[in-house]
């Protein structure tokens, strides 16, 4: 069987804040039979500029990302929001640029959120993974609404021995992170994440899982400030068998 | 008190005041929460709601692309039915026309049936300035009038008030207030107060949910029957309507009605749905002697020209605000314009100017829920991003943000420098943390004021990966 050659787009948050999400992604992709490459030229997909209205810088970063990702069969991203930026917004950015539009469309068409890729494209399930805990799952907005990530993480979490998945009230409701929103309008963001933290606590779960580090940092940061015992992981960490490591905000 | 945030100068100040008002939060949650739950049930029961949304969007796109011919057809048919049609380019022109019509009718008082266009053009204020008495026939609008406030929602203008607050208001302002603390007794008190005034009005003023081109009919929906009661008894009926309210024919109006009611309240149909075509005809037992229709542009043709044509699909159902995490926290007054929530954040810059309202398109997490629930598929996040782009181009965004993003992009487009910079940044951040968390982070006070920041790993992913792969 020829291995699928996939590029991992790490995302700037994973790169800086929680590298083990990137390593978990590589581990799961390799288990699913992929040959994983981390292209050197990647940095940030440009989403902060795009969402702030700074189109010029968003285009510059998009071009750099397109060039870095073009040579590969598929691009996999451990984030619905960065994946959504590449897949949905890159083609919009180059709508009036006949030279770059086809390149943006080509990269967009082969870009996948990690759990959607493992589930839909590889038909893979984790084997022999065990985590004894009660977990709850938050559906991050961009992954959910731009990329249709909903059933895939749940299908990948299901085979994990000992893991009980309990529903979260308002699991499709935004956590109030919103990229730069949380620092531009901190008080409103706090009110939103406060409600989310209460809903998470009300599930009685030990673990909070999601597919986007930004949302996870927001929710985990609020839970920690409130003195909660709920531990937060990117779902791919559990799926890759790395759920026994430190949760977000725990010392290694 | 809950109406106070509207008075604060800036969006952030109004939002802060709203966030501090716990009664407001309870009130918003009761109404919007109920609407959210009921809509979900109604949509589930609707056979192929997604196809119906697509059709609704297509109907609106078609008329918005051919506004001129449909409006002319509507005008000709409305005139043929005996109505008089007036055209207003601006809010002021619209008010001037209505005031002139009221004066010609020698009106001392008007009965007004709630319309968002009336709010948009400032009609309540214009009537007061002209010395014309006004009775608001919509119960919530009556509450707002008594409290001397502005509406905070397009379907429930008084949604920011709890029933306890409304009870206190009625007791203070009604001539014969209710004695029992029941909803029935409160409604009876409002009925006593309003009926006499409604029946004595010289002119009835309403909006329109739909203008039907091939018959010249206008359609209004209300839950209280107040439009019928306020428009039929007076001698003169004045309709004010935005030009985008046009639909080609009755079947189109019916399709839009199905989408409107379910999206707004989760009901299959609104309690009262009325079609008016012209004034009283010879032999009719009741109805107004004169009917005037004021067709208002007020920025709408400009929206079509400036890339906001999709916003003209809006049928004012309020689903976007009911489902918006930001609206649910701060309520409608904090938005500061006539229209709140996501749709308001797109419309207010058109009506009030972007400079005054640049906060509104920014105060959105881009979570996409509003677009998911919009019955006419308005790409609200895309339109909001469009305003952000314009604001950026025009230099309205804060200098700190411009500089911050500029530096970030400059470094991020130089991967080697970026690796060096991110490596240094994580080491610096680690010095600020203890036990895995950073409780106070310079330049990110907005974050650490309310939540902790996890301490980054000792090395970036890229550094670790390169080391492990021997590069």
Which tens digits make up the pLDDT trace of A80-93? 999 999 999 999 99
pLDDT at residue B196 in the model: 84
Q: Cα separation of B88 and B90, whole Å? A: 6
CB B115 within 8 A of CB B240: yes
Task: Please state the rounded mean pLDDT for residues B255-266.
Answer: 97
Task: Please state the rounded mean pLDDT for residues A68-74.
Answer: 97
Q: Cα separation of B418 and B416, whole Å? A: 5
Instruction: Look at residue A36 and give its three-state secondary structure.
Output: strand
Using alpha carbons, list the distances in angstroms from residue B427 to A220, B6, B381, B431, B457.
21, 45, 36, 7, 8
B109: pLDDT strictly greater than 50: yes
Taking an 8 Å cut-off on Cβ atoms, the answer to whether A174 and B19 are in contact is: no
Residue B335, number of CB atoms within 10 A of its CB? 30
Q: Which of A217, A242, A251 is nearest to A17 (CA)?
A: A217
Give B11-28 pLDDT, tens digit per residue: 999 999 999 999 999 999
CB B63 within 8 A of CB B70: yes
Residue B352: which pLDDT band, with cuts at 50, 70 and 90?
very high
For residue B425, the distance in angstroms to the closest alpha carbon of chain A comes to: 8
Q: Cα separation of B288 and B203, whole Å? A: 9
Share of chain A above pLDDT 90, in %: 98
A127: pLDDT strictly greater than 60: yes
B144: pLDDT strictly greater than 70: yes
Tell me which chain A residues have a C-beta less than 8 angstroms from the C-beta of B449.
Answer: 186, 190
Start-to-end CA span in chain A (Å) = 37
For residue A122, the distance in angstroms to the closest alpha carbon of chain B comes to: 24
Tell me which chain A residues have a C-beta less than 8 angstroms from the C-beta of B460.
Answer: 15-16, 19
pLDDT at residue B3 in the model: 40
CB A120 within 8 A of CB A192: no
For residue B467, the distance in angstroms to the closest alpha carbon of chain A comes to: 13
- Taking a contact as any Cβ pair under 8 Å apart, which residues of chain B between 288 and 327 contact chain A? 325-326
Q: Cα separation of B369 and B402, whole Å? A: 28
Task: Please state the rounded mean pLDDT for residues B386-392.
Answer: 98
Q: Which of B19, B326, B418 is nearest residue A43 as measured by Cβ atoms?
A: B418
Residue B447, chain A, CB below 8 Å: the answer is: yes
pLDDT at residue B1 in the model: 36
Q: Which of A52, A180, A190 is nearest residue B450 as measured by Cβ atoms?
A: A190
Name the token pair of B61. 């796109």
Tell me which chain A residues have a C-beta less than 8 angstroms from the C-beta of B5.
Answer: none
Give the burial string for B178-192 (b: 16+ CB within 10 Å, else e): beeeeeeebeebbee
Taking an 8 Å cut-off on Cβ atoms, the answer to whether A49 and B329 are in contact is: no
Q: Cα separation of B469 and B284, whole Å? A: 89
Residue B7: which pLDDT band, with cuts at 50, 70 and 90?
low
Residue B8: which pLDDT band, with cuts at 50, 70 and 90?
low
Using alpha carbons, list the distances in angstroms from residue B8 to A13, B14, B127, B297, B360.
37, 5, 25, 29, 15
Tell me which chain A residues have a C-beta less than 8 angstroms from the C-beta of B409.
Answer: 46, 49, 54, 57, 60-61
Task: Please state the rounded mean pLDDT for residues A148-160.
Answer: 98
Instruction: Look at residue A15 and give its three-state secondary structure.
Output: helix
CB B55 within 8 A of CB B191: no
Task: Please state the rounded mean pLDDT for residues B68-73.
Answer: 98
Q: What is the 3-state secondary structure (H, E, C) of chain B?
A: CCCHHHHCCCHHHHHHHHHHCHHHHHHHHHHHHHHHHHHHHHHHHCCCHHHHHHHHHHHHHHHHHCHHHHHHHHHHHHHHCCCEEEEECCHHHHHHHHHHHHHHCCCCEEEECCCHHHHHHCHHHHHHHCCCEEEECCHHHHHHHHHCCCCCCCCCCCCCCCHHHHHHHHHHHCCCCCCCCCHHHHHHHHHHHHHHHHHCCCEEEECCCEEECCCCEEEEEECCCHHHHHHCCCCEEEEEEEHHHEECCHHHHHHHHHHHHHHHHCCCCCCEEEEECCCCCCCCCCCCCEEEEEEECCCHHHHHHCCCHHHHHCCCCCHHHHCCHHHHHHCCHHHCCCCCHHHHHHHHHHHHCHHHHCHHHHCCCCCCHHHHHCCCCCCHHHHHHHHHHHHHHCCCCCHHHHHHHHHHHHHHCCHHHHHHHHHHHHHHHHHHCECCEECCCCCCHHHHCCCCEECCCCCCHHHHHHHHCCC
pLDDT at residue B228 in the model: 84
Nearest-5° Cα angle at B304, B298 to B310: 110
Distance of CA B366 to the CA centre of its chain: 18
pLDDT at residue A118 in the model: 98
Q: Cα separation of B120 and B199, whole Å? A: 26
For residue A119, the distance in angstroms to the closest alpha carbon of chain B comes to: 24
Residue B441, chain A, CB below 8 Å: the answer is: no
Residue B118, number of CB atoms within 10 A of its CB? 25
Q: Cα separation of B223 and B238, whole Å? A: 20
In chain A, the residue whose alpha carbon lies closest to the alpha carbon of B426 is: A16
B280: pLDDT strictly greater than 70: yes
Task: Please state the rounded mean pLDDT for residues B227-249.
Answer: 93
pLDDT at residue B4 in the model: 41
Tell me which chain B residues have a C-beta less than 8 angstroms from the C-beta of A146.
Answer: 368
Q: What is the mean pLDDT of chain B?
A: 94
Strand partners, B453: B438
Taking an 8 Å cut-off on Cβ atoms, the answer to whether A193 and B464 are in contact is: no
A3: pLDDT strictly greater than 90: no
Query: DSSP state, A53?
Result: T
pLDDT at residue B230 in the model: 84
Residue B131, number of CB atoms within 10 A of its CB? 9
B471: pLDDT strictly greater than 60: no
Using alpha carbons, list the distances in angstroms from residue B59 to A41, B253, B337, B375.
47, 10, 28, 12
For residue A126, the distance in angstroms to the closest alpha carbon of chain B comes to: 23
Give B222-235 pLDDT, tens digit per residue: 988 888 888 888 99
Residue A247, number of CB atoms within 10 A of its CB? 18
Task: Please state the rounded mean pLDDT for residues B251-272.
Answer: 95
Taking an 8 Å cut-off on Cβ atoms, the answer to whether A249 and B454 are in contact is: yes
Q: Which of B190, B201, B206 is nearest to B143 (CA)?
A: B190
Q: Which of B19, B369, B409 is nearest residue A60 as measured by Cβ atoms?
A: B409
Residue A2: which pLDDT band, with cuts at 50, 70 and 90?
low
pLDDT at residue B442 in the model: 84
B402: pLDDT strictly greater than 70: yes
Contacts of B194 (CB under 8 A, 6+ apart): B135, B137, B142
Start-to-end CA span in chain B (Å) = 64
B353: pLDDT strictly greater than 80: yes
B2: pLDDT strictly greater than 90: no
Give B307-324 pLDDT, tens digit per residue: 999 999 999 999 999 999
CB A221 within 8 A of CB B49: no
Task: Please state the rounded mean pLDDT for residues A233-249.
Answer: 97
Give A175-219 pLDDT, tens digit per residue: 999 999 999 999 999 999 999 999 999 999 999 999 999 999 999
Residue B15, chain A, CB below 8 Å: the answer is: yes
Q: Which of B365, B425, B426 is nearest residue A181 as measured by Cβ atoms?
A: B365
Give B169-221 pLDDT, tens digit per residue: 999 999 999 999 999 999 999 999 998 888 889 999 999 999 999 999 999 99
Q: Which of B368, B412, B444 is nearest residue A183 as measured by Cβ atoms?
A: B444
């Amino acid at each position: 069987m020829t291995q699928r050659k996939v590029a991992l787009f790490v995302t700037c948050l994973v790169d800086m804040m929680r590298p083990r999400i990137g390593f978990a992604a590589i581990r799961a992709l390799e288990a699913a039979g992929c040959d994983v490459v981390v292209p050197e030229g990647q940095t940030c997909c440009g989403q902060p500029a795009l969402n702030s209205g700074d189109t010029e810088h968003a285009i510059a970063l998009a071009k750099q990302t397109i060039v870095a990702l073009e040579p590969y069969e598929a691009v996999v991203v451990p984030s619905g929001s960065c994946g959504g930026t590449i897949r949905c917004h890159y083609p919009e950015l180059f709508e009036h640029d006949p030279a770059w539009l086809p390149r943006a469309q080509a990269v967009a068409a082969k870009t996948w959120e990690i759990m959607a890729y493992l589930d839909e494209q590889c038909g893979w399930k984790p084997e022999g993974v065990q985590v004894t805990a009660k977990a709850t799952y938050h559906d991050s907005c961009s992954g959910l609404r731009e990329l249709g990530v909903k059933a895939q993480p749940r299908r990948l979490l299901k085979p994990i021995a000992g893991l009980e998945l309990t529903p979260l009230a308002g699991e499709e409701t935004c956590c109030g992170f919103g990229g730069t929103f949380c620092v531009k309008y901190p008080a409103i963001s706090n009110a939103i994440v406060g409600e989310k933290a209460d809903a998470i606590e009300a599930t009685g779960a030990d673990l909070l899982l999601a597919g986007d580090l930004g949302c996870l940092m927001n929710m985990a940061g609020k839970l920690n400030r409130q003195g909660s015992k709920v531990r937060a992981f990117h779902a791919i960490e559990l799926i890759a068998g790395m759920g026994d490591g430190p949760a977000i905000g725990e010392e290694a | 008190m809950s109406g106070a945030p509207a008075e604060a100068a800036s969006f952030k100040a109004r939002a802060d005041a709203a966030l501090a008002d716990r009664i407001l939060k309870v009130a918003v949650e009761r109404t919007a929460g109920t609407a959210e739950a009921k809509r979900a049930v109604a949509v589930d029961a609707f056979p192929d709601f997604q196809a119906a949304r697509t059709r609704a969007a297509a109907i609106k796109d078609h008329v918005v692309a051919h506004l001129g011919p449909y409006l002319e057809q509507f005008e000709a048919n409305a005139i043929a039915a005996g109505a008089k049609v007036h055209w207003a380019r601006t809010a002021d022109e619209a008010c001037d026309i209505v005031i002139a019509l009221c004066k010609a009718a020698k009106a001392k008082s008007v009965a007004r049936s709630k319309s968002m266009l009336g709010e948009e053009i400032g009609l309540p204020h214009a009537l007061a300035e002209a010395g014309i008495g006004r009775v608001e026939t919509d119960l919530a609008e009556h509450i707002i009038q008594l409290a001397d406030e502005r509406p905070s929602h397009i379907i429930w203008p008084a949604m920011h008030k709890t029933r306890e607050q409304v009870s206190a208001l009625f007791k203070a302002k009604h001539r014969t207030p209710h004695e029992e603390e029941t909803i029935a007794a409160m409604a009876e008190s409002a009925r006593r107060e309003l009926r006499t005034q409604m029946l004595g009005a010289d002119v009835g003023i309403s909006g329109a949910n739909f203008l039907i081109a091939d018959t010249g009919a206008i359609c209004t929906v209300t839950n209280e029957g107040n439009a019928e009661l306020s428009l039929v008894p007076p001698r003169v009926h004045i309709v004010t309507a935005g030009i985008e309210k046009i639909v080609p024919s009755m079947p189109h109006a019916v399709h839009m009605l199905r989408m409107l009611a379910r999206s707004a309240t989760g009901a299959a149909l609104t309690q009262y749905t009325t079609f008016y075509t012209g004034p009283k005809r010879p032999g009719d037992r009741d109805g107004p002697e004169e009917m005037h229709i004021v067709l208002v542009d007020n920025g709408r043709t400009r929206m079509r020209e400036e890339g906001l044509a999709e916003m003209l699909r809006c049928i004012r159902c309020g689903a976007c605000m009911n489902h918006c995490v930001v609206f649910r926290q701060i309520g409608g007054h904090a938005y500061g314009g006539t229209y709140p929530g996501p749709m308001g954040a797109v419309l207010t810059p058109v009506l009030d100017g972007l400079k005054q309202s640049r906060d509104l398109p920014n105060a959105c997490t881009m979570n996409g829920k509003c677009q998911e629930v919009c019955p006419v598929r308005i790409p609200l996040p895309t339109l909001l991003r469009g305003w952000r782009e314009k604001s950026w181009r025009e230099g309205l965004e804060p200098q700190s943000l411009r500089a911050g993003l500029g530096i970030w992009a400059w470094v991020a487009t130089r991967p080697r420098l970026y690796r060096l910079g991110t490596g240094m940044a994580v080491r610096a951040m680690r010095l600020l943390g203890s036990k895995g968390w950073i409780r106070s982070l310079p330049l990110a006070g907005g974050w650490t004021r309310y939540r902790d920041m996890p301490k980054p790993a000792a090395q970036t992913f890229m550094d670790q990966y390169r080391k492990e792969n021997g590069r």
